[in-house]
Structure 1
Amino acid sequence: MGFALKNQVFLLCVMVLLLAVRCYSEDTFTRSRATYYGSPDCYGTPKSKKLTIANQTVRRILANHVIIELIIYMNGTGCGACYQLRCTTPQYCADEGVNIVVTDYGEGDKTDFILSSRAYAKLARPNVVLQLFSYGVVDIEYRRISCKYSGYNLMFKVHESNYPRYLAIVLLYVAGQNDITAVEFWQEDCQQWRAMRRAYGAVWDLASPPSGPIKLRFQVSGSSGIKWFESKNALPSDWKAGAAYDSYIQLT
């Protein structure tokens, strides 16, 4: 079952940088630096109007804490991962910091994270936000945390740039500390699974998609190792650009 998504937020990773995979623990913080990127709506980059998300509550969470980041990109695999950030200047910084979602690749002044203005503001204690902004770049510590999307399974959205003989999908709601490392479709005439290409970030594409419904499966790397999950819901033959489909796969 598909539905048109409403309420927009940027979830694409748009550049590819080959970097070594790092290991993270929810109990261990890593020291780094962060800055911010301004935009008219304070949600992040001007590209934030290009993708949509299904639920108002989730949209607010992601839009307020969206980031562009550098080191954690991992050739696009890190797109969609969640992190806790807190700055380390006691007189200005809130104890809990801010929870963010990796959305893009960018470069700052020796920084690992470039935050939206809203996310950067949430690093600060009440009433000293302007003082923190005057720093421009702040020392931080960060750790990876589990993404939580209450009531949502892993979903795949048909990208708006699709045309009849080309298919691209965007993966949404990758919960827990999981990364999607491969996507395959079922080639009915060959009776075998065939790989889709990671176009960039969370976008996977396929030239000359097969006719009829398209079965998909996803390779998930997480704390329980590497596993394959087959979607219980095929992409219908009448798929529409901009529509999203529930895989009925629950990642935790």
Structure 2
Amino acid sequence: MELGFKHQLGLVCVILLFPALCNCNEYFTNSRATYYGTSDGNGTPTGACGFGEYGRKMNWYDGRVAGVSGLWRNGAGCGTCYQVKCKIAELCDVKGAYLVATDQGYGDRTDFVMSPNAFSRLGGNKNASAELKKYGTVDIEYRRVPCTYIGNVLFHIKESSSNPGYLAVVILNVNGKYDVNAVEMWQKGKERWEALRRVYGAVFDFANPPRGEILLRFQVGVKWMIPNIAIPANWKPGATYDTKLQLY
């Protein structure tokens, strides 16, 4: 049976629109969320992503951070951003909270174990937030959204590093909605890139790195990003270096 012109046109429109309709970032997933306690409402510097002290606030997110369970994805989910909305109409803000995954955490069938600051942002006002905390765990819906960190991408050298001999690095301020899938180091003399190991969370390491400047590149989605400057030869454990590279 042949299709009429109108039916053919309609089928073409459906085919063209199908990718947009299936963009999972446009849809919310139902789940549950709870929170943990801290003295100042921010995150914890001991989060399993390896962000350290930076993980307490995560740039402009101002402590709106969370541990995640299934979204952890063996550490690939570290630094990813989400919009989370609770479902008690008289208490919950319609926009919910925008937060960053900085830790691995489990609750009562929850995807998010949120910092006090993040959980409070679920409420429509101060009193509503206080009421939500009495629930302890609430039904939510969430979706992944692009991160909007302030400033350039940063390389933070973990305190466990030693110059020379061992380099461990965590990449900060990666904007957008894609994971950091891999990190590689340029091997001068060998004239090739060599992979760093994801040792845990967002921390990548390399035994016996080359002496002198260190040039790293990292893969975001399927695209390789090369910073405009190298890590200096006199790099120090605990130092943070600006890559002069900004993602949008």
User: What is the TM-score when the length of structure 1 is the normalising length?
Assistant: 0.82
Q: How is 1:34-73 mapped onto 2 (pairs within 5 angstroms)?
A: 34-45=33-44, 47=46, 51-53=52-54, 59=59, 61-73=60-72
Give the CA deviation at 1:71.
Answer: 1.3
Task: Judge conservation of contact 1:183–1:218 (CA < 8 Å) in 2.
Answer: yes
| Aligned positions, number | 221
Give the CA deviation at 1:129.
Answer: 2.1
- Please state if 1:32 is matched with 2:22: no
Measured in 1, the distance between the counterparts of 2:86 and 2:162 equals 45
| Consecutive aligned runs of 4 or more in structure 1 exceeding 6 Å deviation | none
Task: Judge conservation of contact 1:37–1:45 (CA < 8 Å) in 2.
Answer: no
Amino acid at match of 1:88: K
- Please state if 1:121 is matched with 2:117: no
Q: What does residue 111 of structure 1 align with?
A: 110
Give the CA deviation at 1:134.
Answer: 1.2
Task: Judge conservation of contact 1:24–1:143 (CA < 8 Å) in 2.
Answer: no
Higher relative contact order (CA 8 A, sep 6+): 1
Amino acid at match of 1:239: W
SS in 2 for 1:64: coil
Measured in 2, the distance between the counterparts of 1:104 and 1:111 equals 14
User: What is the TM-score when the length of structure 2 is the normalising length?
Assistant: 0.83
Give per-residue Cα distances to partners, 1:134-157, cap 9 Å, x unaligned. 11110000011111124x122211
Task: Judge conservation of contact 2:51–2:170 (CA < 8 Å) in 1.
Answer: no
Q: How is 1:229-244 mapped onto 2 (pairs within 5 angstroms)?
A: 229-244=225-240
Give per-residue Cα distances to partners, 1:11-52, cap 9 Å, x unaligned. xxxxxxxxxxxx973321111000001122221336279734
Return the index of the structure with the highest Cα Rg.
Answer: 2
Give the CA deviation at 1:63.
Answer: 3.7
Aligned CA distance change for structure 1 residues 77 and 174 (closer, same or farther; 3 Å):
same
SS in 2 for 1:72: helix
Q: Which runs of 5+ in 2 are unaligned?
A: 1-21
SS in 2 for 1:35: strand
What RMSD in Å do the two structures reach over aligned CA positions?
Answer: 2.0
Q: As a proportion of its length, which structure holds more helix?
A: 2
| Percentage of matched positions with identical amino acids | 45
Q: How is 1:175-190 mapped onto 2 (pairs within 5 angstroms)?
A: 175-190=175-190
Measured in 2, the distance between the counterparts of 1:46 and 1:183 equals 23
Amino acid at match of 2:189: D
Give the CA deviation at 1:189.
Answer: 2.5
Measured in 2, the distance between the counterparts of 1:58 and 1:198 equals 21
Aligned CA distance change for structure 1 residues 155 and 50 (closer, same or farther; 3 Å):
closer
SS in 2 for 1:157: strand
SS in 2 for 1:228: strand
Q: As a proportion of its length, which structure holds more strand?
A: 1
